[in-house]
Amino acid sequence: MASVGVVTRVLLGKNVVNRVAAANTGFVKFYSTGPAYENIKVEVVGAKKNVGLIQLNRPKALNALCGPLFVEVGQAVKDFETDDKIAAIVITGNEKAFAAGADIKEMQNNTFSGNTKKGFLQDIEDYISNCGKPVIAAVNGFALGGGCELAMLCDIIYAGEKAKFGQPEINLGTIPGIGGTQRLPRYVGKSKAMEIVLTGNFIDAHEAERMGLVSRVFPVDKLLEETIKLAERIGTHSPLIVKMAKAAVNQAYETTLKSGLQFEKAYFYGTFATEDRKEGMTAFVEKRPPNFKNE
Ligand code: CAA
């Protein structure tokens, strides 16, 4: 895991406390309480400690996405979203697996009526898709089935050069269930999406980059560092304007070109009601760096 400016959640009896440890001073400060996590690790990283890092942590099951893991990811995303100090969120796994899909052992005996009555694998989509802050996937190893879908729920995907993506549900007699049939064609087009979904074949990181599923590929051991750098770069901008820019790009996936352009125009005009737009343009004219206030 990244070593710069670490926040760990430590168990204190039944409660968990976020412990902020400044790497250089050894200073430890408790700043908030939250739930105990069993399936993920959560840290605050980056030179300015403004990047929320969520590491999926079921290595023995290749980070298979069991129900409790989804709940924990949702909670961690929510925590970071509501923390003003956090500019962007990174979701990662380990070198062998980002996530090898929904937990097959957990759902093996599920039934149609049970899935329909209780709902299954829905909440995570809402938590990540609706998050107002950028969420970036750093994918090393397998990103299969629900793992590939989790990466696609994020705003940007960076991959390690040994990453493997796929929607192998067809091998199990089922189909993708967290958006794979809908998001994958939007990333890579119909023919490639059909090939991936209907064969269950894996694609490697470079192929995924060529297809537009992944925006950059890095050596395995550089992936997390580069992804955190990306999050930090985004974190130099106004969080308010980043949120508006993200919402505007997302409209491209939700609506017609005409409505999307109207939405963009409304948001573009809207930036002129913000202090940060004024500051950004004033700083440019005065030839100095902007000092954004998130206002
Ligand atoms: N669910 C539950 N357990 C899983 C898992 C999954 N999706 N993927 C791997 N595991 C477990 C294995 O059962 C194994 O556990 P045991 O040691 O207890 O047997 C452990 O992780 C290691 O896995 P392998 O021994 O299989 O490792 P490998 O290196 O030989 O193979 C792999 C790696 C090719 C990824 C292989 O594990 C595999 O094919 N996994 C399943 C991939 C898959 O089908 N994903 C789609 C799931 S369905 C889905 O996601 C639906 C949806 O859209 C919501």
pLDDT, mean of residues 37-58 = 97
* Nearest atom, ligand 1, residue 171 CA: 44
> Do residue 54 and residue 146 come from a single domain?
yes
pLDDT at 294: 96
Q: Give me the CATH number covering residue 250.
A: 1.10.12
Contact 92, 230 (CB under 8 A): no
pLDDT at 121: 75
> Do residue 169 and residue 189 come from a single domain?
yes
pLDDT at 6: 34
Q: Is 161 a catalytic residue?
A: no
pLDDT at 127: 83
Nearest-CA neighbor of 133 among 53, 243, 48, 229?
243
Tens of pLDDT along 258-268?
Answer: 999 999 999 99
Nearest-CA neighbor of 180 among 81, 65, 22, 44?
65
> Do residue 125 and residue 183 come from a single domain?
yes
* Nearest atom, ligand 1, residue 146 CA: 50
Q: Which residues pair with 142 in a beta bridge?
A: 97, 164
pLDDT, mean of residues 110-125 = 84
> Do residue 168 and residue 183 come from a single domain?
yes
Q: Give me the CATH number covering residue 86.
A: 3.90.226.10
Whether 137 maps to a domain, the answer reads yes
> Do residue 55 and residue 160 come from a single domain?
yes
> Do residue 185 and residue 156 come from a single domain?
yes
> Do residue 47 and residue 179 come from a single domain?
yes
Residue 92 contacts by C-beta under 8 Å, 6 or more apart in sequence?
Answer: 53, 54, 55, 56, 98, 137, 138, 139, 140, 223, 224, 227
- pLDDT of residue 62 exceeding 80, the answer is yes
Q: Which of the residues 5, 141, 146, 235 is marked catalytic?
A: 146
Whether 7 maps to a domain, the answer reads no
Residues with CB under 6 A from ligand 1: 61-62, 64, 100-105, 121, 142, 144-146, 149, 168-169, 172, 176-178, 180
pLDDT at 2: 41
Whether 24 maps to a domain, the answer reads no
> Do residue 167 and residue 132 come from a single domain?
yes
Whether 165 maps to a domain, the answer reads yes
pLDDT at 15: 35
Whether 67 maps to a domain, the answer reads yes
pLDDT at 118: 84
pLDDT-wise least confident of 13-17, 92-96, 112-116: 13-17
> Do residue 212 and residue 263 come from a single domain?
no
Where in the sequence is the domain holding 105, given as residue range(s)?
37-234
Question: Regarding predicted confidence, which is higher, 27 or 69?
Answer: 69
Q: Which of the residues 43, 72, 149, 232 is marked catalytic?
A: 149
> Do residue 157 and residue 281 come from a single domain?
no
Amino acid identity for residue 148 in this structure: C
Whether 183 maps to a domain, the answer reads yes
pLDDT at 97: 98
pLDDT at 22: 32
Whether 173 maps to a domain, the answer reads yes
Q: Is 125 a catalytic residue?
A: no
> Do residue 254 and residue 146 come from a single domain?
no
Whether 4 maps to a domain, the answer reads no
pLDDT at 35: 59
Tens of pLDDT along 163-183?
Answer: 999 999 999 999 999 999 999
pLDDT at 34: 53
Tens of pLDDT along 212-257?
Answer: 999 999 999 999 999 999 999 999 999 999 999 999 999 999 999 9
pLDDT, mean of residues 145-158 = 97
Average pLDDT, the chain: 89
Q: Is 102 a catalytic residue?
A: yes
- pLDDT of residue 16 exceeding 70, the answer is no
> Do residue 197 and residue 263 come from a single domain?
no
